[in-house]
Amino acid sequence: MNQILDWLQSLGFSQYEAKVYLALLMQPGVTGYELAKNSGVPASKIYGTLNKLIAREMVQAIDSDPKKYLPLPPEEILSRMRDEFLETVDLLSKKLEQIYTQSEIMDEHIWNLSGRNSILRKVIDFVSNANQQILLSVWDEELEEIGSCLKKADRHNVKISIVHFGEQRLNVGKEFRHGREHQIRVERGGRRIVLVVDDQKMILGHFSEDGRSNAAWTTNKGMVLLAKDYIIHDIYTILMMKTFGDKALEIFNKV
């Protein structure tokens, strides 16, 4: 219940408004006096809170004696809030883009990310906005979550090359299995993801075995080319191993 209250507050409800609305969902058609007892909102605050919810078209009052209150259905409220939010995002996107000045310092800056969800959101955003080329080095665990947007990019004729650490295959673009997953996982203490999009931006992330995750992304040209070379080098190594086998391994072990 506390989490639901937190979620409602994140959508713009005050603490009292969230409590009142939730209490009305559980027991509609009650008086303000009853609602104060059910919700835990002080009696001195209950009618002010109800009037705010009525003004926001989330609660309706029944004209009776004494007056009683009904909540509007959650789906109706959430659908309206979703539409208003998306409309605001669209308007902001246009207006902010008009006033945003791309500067050299922004191009050179390296941005940090923390947490697996934040990293994967940025990866999916990069892939979804790719126009020409995607170079990706990825493990099965992450590939599972970004596979659908990679397939969509493939359908839009984006050139895709993927170095896989694992068994999964998406059947998009060119896919290369690394084949040394266990050894690399032991050496690094986790998994890595490297993504380069359109030779314009890159992201490098690390997912530790203990659950910690961090990444950096940038449009810095030197960093972008470095990440691109890293992935291409892995592809060359995989092809060399496939062609020359143990002989190639002997050469690599001398480095």
Instruction: Give the pLDDT means over successive 10-residue stretches in the chain (255 positions).
Output: 91 95 94 94 95 94 90 94 92 84 73 93 95 94 91 95 88 86 74 95 91 92 94 88 71 57
Residue 89 lies in a domain: no
pLDDT at 241 (0 to 100)? 79
Report how far residue 35's alpha carbon sits from residue 97's, in angstroms, rounded to the nearest whole number: 46
Structure tokens at 101: 């000045």
Q: What is the predicted pLDDT for the residue at 229?
A: 95
- Is 62 a domain residue? yes
Helices 15-26 and 43-55: angle between axes, nearest 10 degrees: 80
The answer on 213 and 119 residing in a single domain is yes
Give me the pLDDT at residue 103, please.
63
Angle at which helices 32-39 and 43-55 cross, to 10°? 100
On whether both 17 and 140 belong to a single domain, the answer is: no
Note whether 243 and 159 are same-domain residues. yes
Report the number of distinct structural domains present in the chain. 2
Is 153 found in the same domain as 229?
Answer: yes
Q: Is residue 98 part of a domain?
A: no
Q: Please report where in the chains the tokens 């309706």 appear, as a residue.
A: 60
Residue 92 belongs to what H/E stretch?
helix 74-99
Are 186 and 68 members of one domain? no
Same domain, 142 and 23: no
Specify whether 67 is located in the same domain as 114: no
Boundary of a domain, candidates 75, 96, 121: 75
* Domain final residue, candidates 31, 52, 75: 75
Domain housing 132? 109-253
Domain boundary among 54, 75, 96: 75
* 43 shares its domain with 165: no
The pLDDT score that the predictor gives to residue 248 is 62
Bond from prior residue into 66 cis (ω within 30 degrees of 0): yes
Residue 73: its pLDDT value, please? 94
